Structure 1
Amino acid sequence: MKRVLIVDDAAFMRMTIKNMLSNYEYEIVGEAENGLEAVEKYKELSPDIVTMDITMPELDGIQALRMIKKLNPGASVVMVSALGQEAKMKEAIIYGAKGFIVKPFKEEILLGALSKL
């Protein structure tokens, strides 16, 4: 069972992702609502997969991705963003994101992205 850390500043989106994954072979080991919290939770929990929002307060998803990749170059991080953030998505791939999902998304899109990891 893959262990997942869900990172998004919107509680609704964290709940949505959690609900989508709950019927499959994923264990939600933690949630974070900003990039700083995401890095701390990553250190604490060592998840197999991180779903990372891009636009968040305190530390955005790109900065958090970079910090997590410094901690673990093999970290599996999938970026989640709104439409219109293509430049940020390209930046995330350059810094080591393993994939990306554009909001709003359906369950099969999320599962497809995570199954590739």
Structure 2
Amino acid sequence: MYNGIIVDDAMVMRLRLAEILGKEFKIVDMAGDGVEALASYRHFRPDFVTLDISMPIKNGIEVLQELLFNFPDAKVVMVSAVGQKQIIFEALGLGAKDFIIKPFEPARVLIAIKRLFS
């Protein structure tokens, strides 16, 4: 079973993603900001990360860049609110593997993560 971490500054979003993904993947940690996310990744070395774009301290783009610089094989799926197209394209250009949009559609979330391993 693949394991992952969920990164989002909103607890309700972390819990919702954990509910969706927990059916098929093991969620080893959740982080509420970019600094926590980087520490969690270093500790757990998960198979995947869901990473919110808009967060305090370090935003998702900054975390993505640092993560991929230190761990080039990291599999990151960005999490975005509707209307953040430009930032999504920037993240994909930097190396994010996919993106999911809030509010979450469970089937789309699962497809995005499963595609990382197919």
- Residues 69-84 of structure 1 mapped to structure 2, 5 A cutoff: 69-84=68-83
Residue of structure 2 in register with 1:12 after alignment: 12
- Residues 1-117 of structure 1 mapped to structure 2, 5 A cutoff: 1-24=1-24, 26-117=25-116
Shift of 1:17: 0.5
What TM-score, normalized by structure 2, do the two folds share? 0.96
- Alpha-carbon distance between aligned partners in 1 of 2:39 and 2:70, rounded to the nearest angstrom: 11
Residue identity matched to 1:113? A
- Alpha-carbon distance between aligned partners in 2 of 1:4 and 1:90, rounded to the nearest angstrom: 23
Residue identity matched to 1:33? G
Count of residue pairs the alignment pairs up: 116
- Alpha-carbon distance between aligned partners in 1 of 2:23 and 2:113, rounded to the nearest angstrom: 14
Structure 2 unaligned spans of 5+: none
Shift of 1:4: 0.6
Structure 1 unaligned spans of 5+: none
Shift of 1:57: 0.3
Describe the SS at the equivalent of 2:95.
Answer: coil
Residue identity matched to 1:42? Y
Shift of 1:71: 1.2
Shift of 1:61: 0.4
- Alpha-carbon distance between aligned partners in 2 of 1:50 and 1:77, rounded to the nearest angstrom: 5
- Alpha-carbon distance between aligned partners in 2 of 1:73 and 1:104, rounded to the nearest angstrom: 29
